[in-house]
Amino acid sequence: LRKKIKNMLFGTSSKTYETFQITYILPDGKEQVVEAEERYTVLMASQSLPSPISTGRRAGGNCPDGQCGSCRIEVIDATGLSEKTEMEQNVLDAVAQGLPHEGRCREVGAPQTPNTRLACHVRIVGNGGRINVPELVNYDNLKGDEHGT
């Protein structure tokens, strides 16, 4: 579907993208291997899971500026994953300190480790990444009540 959308928006491209495998360790301990195009983020690739990585946004979408810090993951093996950027570290630090985002207060986040990353910042650049996912989107919580609110 994504390839069809790309072709509709940008025309047929002669560039082909390699696909790489990464492993998600889900909250229940099960492992799932996902194939994703190079340069996809770990968050984008999680759309292939039974439920995507939870971001606090509806249906696992990411925030518009990549600074909400709610798509925290733990990287078990960074093979095939992009390096942590200064911006990503700044967001993690802001979450750890409970600094406001988009004019709203945010709770102080759990302590970060050297392996704490943000799924919307981590890009897939090769095979082998292993990601521990603390929470997936719970679709039952998104349904609302019987009146659709």
Which pLDDT tens digit goes with each residue over 27-83? 999 999 999 999 999 999 999 988 888 776 554 555 677 888 888 999 999 999 999
Higher pLDDT, 110 or 58: 110
What is the pTM for the complete model shown?
Answer: 0.80
User: Residue 89: pLDDT above 80?
Assistant: yes
- Tokens 């099960």, residue located: 30
Least confident of 10-24, 34-48, 112-126, 131-145: 131-145
Rg of the chain (C-alpha set): 16
The pLDDT of residue 102? 79
H or E stretch covering 73: strand 72-77
132-149 per-residue burial string, b: 16 or more CB within 10 A, e: under 16: ebebbbeeeeeeeeeeee
* Main-chain phi, psi angles of 104, to 5 degrees: -115, 145
Highest mean pLDDT, choosing among 59-68, 101-110, 112-121: 112-121
